[in-house]
Amino acid sequence: MIVGAQWGDEGKGKIVDLLAQHSDLVCRYNGGPNAGHTIVVGGETYKLKHIPSGILGGKECVIGAGCVVDPQVLIEELDDLEGRKVSTELIRLSGNAHLVMPWHPAIDRASERRLGKLQIGTTRRGIGPTYADKAYRLGIRVQDLLDSKILRQKIEVALAEKNVWLERVYGEEPIELEGLVERYEGYAERLRPMIVDTSLLVDRALRDGKRVLFDGAHGTLLDLDHGTYPFVTSSPTLAGGASAGIGIGPTRIDCVIGVAKAYVTRVGEGPFPSEIEGPEHDRLQELGGEFGTVTGRQRRCGWLDLVGLRYAVRLNGMTSLALTKLDVLSAFSELPVCVRYLLPDGTETEEFPAHQSDFHHCRPVYETLRGWEEPLDGIEDLSDLPERARAYVDFVERQLGVEVSLIGTGAERTRVLSARGVAAVASA
Ligand code: GDP
Ligand code: IMO
Ligand code: MG
């Protein structure tokens, strides 16, 4: 199981792609087109939103029940991959996943506009409204595409309510029924062959002794229950969400690898204790190429936050950590690492604050490590890592009490260092 340990964009796509080489099945269990995973293989860059990052390795890929699917975006992704000679034949889509309907992005955009200064900074992809309708039991599911009578009826019922919202609450144009039904019937034709019982498929794969990799989207601090609410996404992002999102028991997951950048980024609004102020911020942003995969927005950058990471280790039951983008830190002579938070009452803590006001007003307490100030480009073996880079990784391991099993030194699939070897990490 691969899970984001910060606020998303940790480099999960690259790690999943890498470990997929040693897996049989790769499954997404949460989120939708708000995720953006960039994978670089042989100089080619691929950007995935819905499709699990195992697709480039030619693996069978599952989009589970916990996901929300925008059919238009998914079809564009399929076309893009096919156009680049990547087969999409092995993609399996759960009939229980919910569909992003055109009113969802419209409501997402209008709601953010109304919130003004208080906005969440969502990706405007309709994620919150889609999950809200799912909980409200007004959602339309992938399997509704299989029967045009049911599809029409469900769209009709939902639209009657949504158009009132769009027109009267948000001052938007209403959506017309006929054109919409026709459009979704078209999507149905394309997606029909992919729709299967994915819970049964994964269960059978596990029973047959196959290796199943879970591809978690977003990040721990964006989790709906345990993240920095309300500045979170609307799905469970923790390892625990995988069993519910796919439909297998939690006892089937035996290894949880958290992915964290060697620093931190965040897109959208919300508190961020170790955010950098001043010119070093822009330098880190530029060197790390910290611009969103989905929206192109600038990612806010900060120093590594071990309080947040310790929380992520706990919430996910992490068995090891993949530390990505260590190469980006080569440019800095000093590397502050946040080891504790100073709370408004003057006390210091190593644990993530349970109360929102403590988190919003805490200050980072840094321990500054010396940088290695040399590129990590040609390094193929962990033993060749500069001593101070090794010390940085060791510091993280010691502070968190968890092994760093993979170290990212570049965007390419091959740019990774591991003491145990990638195959051993994948089979843990
Ligand atoms: P994800 O959403 O967690 O899959 O991460 P994104 O793909 O949104 O953002 C991570 C970015 O960092 C992508 O552009 C990756 O190609 C890139 N990346 C991943 N690992 C490394 C690494 O170790 N070093 C460098 N320099 N780039 C990396
Ligand atoms: P990956 O899988 C980074 C953030 C958005 C916003 C908040 C709510 O690429 O790591 P939403 O559209 O989900 O309602 O937005 O969550 N967010 C992400 N930030 N990476 C992601 O996914 C994200 N998914 C959601 O920026 O702050
Ligand atoms: Mg991303």
Q: Are 52 and 27 in contact (CB under 8 A)?
A: yes
As a whole number of Å, the CA-based R_g of the chain is 22
**Under DSSP, is residue 205 helix (H, G, I), strand (E, B) or coil?**
helix
Reported as a single tens digit per residue, the pLDDT across 18-56 is: 999 999 999 999 999 999 999 999 999 999 999 999 999
Question: Can you tell me which atom of ligand 1 is nearest the CA of 292?
Answer: 8
User: Rounded to an integer, what distance in angstroms lies between the CA atom of residue 409 and that of residue 353?
Assistant: 32
Four-point Cα dihedral 139, 141, 147, 152, nearest 10: 30
Mean pLDDT of the chain: 96
Residue 292 scores a pLDDT above 90: no
Same domain for 190 and 205, yes or no, is no
Same domain for 309 and 357, yes or no, is yes
The token pair that represents 368 in the structure block: 């500054």
Residue 356 scores a pLDDT above 90: yes
Reported as a single tens digit per residue, the pLDDT across 62-84 is: 999 999 999 999 999 999 999 99
**CB 117: neighbour CB atoms within 10 A?**
5
- Burial class (CB within 10 angstroms; exposed 0-12, middle 13-18, buried 19+) of 83: exposed
How many separate domains does the chain show?
A: 2
CA of 310 to the centre of ligand 3 (A): 21
User: Rounded to an integer, what distance in angstroms lies between the CA atom of residue 205 and that of residue 210?
Assistant: 5
Reported as a single tens digit per residue, the pLDDT across 221-231 is: 999 999 999 99
User: First-to-last CA distance in the chain?
Assistant: 11
Contacts of 87 (CB under 8 A, 6+ apart): 58, 81
Same domain for 235 and 269, yes or no, is yes
CA of 122 to the centre of ligand 2 (A): 7
Question: Can you tell me which atom of ligand 1 is nearest the CA of 410?
Answer: 24
Same domain for 7 and 84, yes or no, is yes
Q: Are 47 and 36 in contact (CB under 8 A)?
A: yes
Choose one of 17, 34, 38 to mutate for the ligand 1 pocket test, by most ligand atoms within 8 angstroms of C-beta.
38
**Under DSSP, is residue 306 helix (H, G, I), strand (E, B) or coil?**
helix
Q: Is the CB of 411 inside a 6 Å radius of any atom of ligand 1?
A: yes
Per-residue pLDDT at 295: 77
Domain, as residue range, for 32: 2-90+197-426
Residue 90 scores a pLDDT above 90: yes
Choose one of 46, 55, 213, 325 to mutate for the ligand 1 pocket test, by most ligand atoms within 8 angstroms of C-beta.
325
Same domain for 105 and 253, yes or no, is no
Closest residue by Cα to atom 27, ligand 2, is 268
User: Rounded to an integer, what distance in angstroms lies between the CA atom of residue 280 and that of residue 415?
Assistant: 25
Q: What is the pTM of this model?
A: 0.97
Same domain for 143 and 17, yes or no, is no
Q: Are 372 and 390 in contact (CB under 8 A)?
A: no
User: Rounded to an integer, what distance in angstroms lies between the CA atom of residue 308 and that of residue 220?
Assistant: 9
Number of H helices, E strands in the chain: 13, 19
Q: How far is CA 104 from CA 86, 127, 166, in A?
A: 30, 7, 10
Four-point Cα dihedral 293, 14, 28, 220, nearest 10: -80
The token pair that represents 17 in the structure block: 């792609």
The single-letter DSSP state of residue 230 is T
Same domain for 323 and 387, yes or no, is yes
CA of 158 to the centre of ligand 1 (A): 38
The single-letter DSSP state of residue 193 is G
Residue 274 scores a pLDDT above 80: yes
Q: Known catalytic residues?
A: 9, 37
**CB 261: neighbour CB atoms within 10 A?**
26
Choose one of 3, 122, 264 to mutate for the ligand 2 pocket test, by most ligand atoms within 8 angstroms of C-beta.
122
Same domain for 78 and 146, yes or no, is no
Contacts of 331 (CB under 8 A, 6+ apart): 283, 287, 371, 373
What CATH number should be reported for the domain holding residue 290? 3.90.170.10
Q: How far is CA 395 from CA 128, 404, 415, in A?
A: 38, 10, 22
Same domain for 370 and 339, yes or no, is yes
Per-residue pLDDT at 288: 97
Same domain for 8 and 138, yes or no, is no
Reported as a single tens digit per residue, the pLDDT across 367-401 is: 999 999 999 998 999 999 999 999 999 999 999 99
User: Rounded to an integer, what distance in angstroms lies between the CA atom of residue 227 and that of residue 322?
Assistant: 20
CA of 6 to the centre of ligand 1 (A): 13
Triad 219, 292, 70: Cα angle to 5°: 75
CA of 36 to the centre of ligand 2 (A): 9
Q: Is the CB of 17 inside a 6 Å radius of any atom of ligand 1?
A: no
Same domain for 236 and 306, yes or no, is yes
Q: Are 428 and 255 in contact (CB under 8 A)?
A: yes
Last residue of a domain, one of 175, 194, 213: 194
Q: In sequence order, which ranges of 40-192 are alpha helices (DSSP H)?
A: 71-83, 103-115, 127-136, 148-164, 177-191
Q: With pLDDT > 90 as the criterion, what percentage of the chain qualifies?
A: 97
What CATH number should be reported for the domain holding residue 149? 1.10.300.10
Q: Which ligand is nearest to the CA of 266?
A: 2
Same domain for 172 and 282, yes or no, is no
User: Rounded to an integer, what distance in angstroms lies between the CA atom of residue 27 and that of residue 58?
Assistant: 13
Q: Which residues hold their Cβ within 5 A of ligand 3, which is an ion?
A: 9, 36, 293
99 φ/ψ sector (left φ>0, alpha ψ -120 to 50, else beta): beta
Last residue of a domain, one of 160, 194, 228: 194
Q: Is the CB of 12 inside a 6 Å radius of any atom of ligand 1?
A: yes
Phi, psi of 409 (to 5 degrees): -125, 15
CA of 293 to the centre of ligand 3 (A): 6
Q: Which ligand is nearest to the CA of 222?
A: 2
Q: Which helix (H) or strand (E) holds 77?
A: helix 71-83
Residues with CB under 6 A from ligand 2: 4, 7-9, 34-37, 120-123, 125, 127-128, 217-219, 222, 231, 233-234, 267-268, 293
Last residue of a domain, one of 146, 172, 194: 194
- Which residue has 């419209």 as its token pair? 106
Look up residue 275 and give its amino acid: E
User: Rounded to an integer, what distance in angstroms lies between the CA atom of residue 194 and that of residue 91?
Assistant: 6
**Under DSSP, is residue 218 helix (H, G, I), strand (E, B) or coil?**
coil
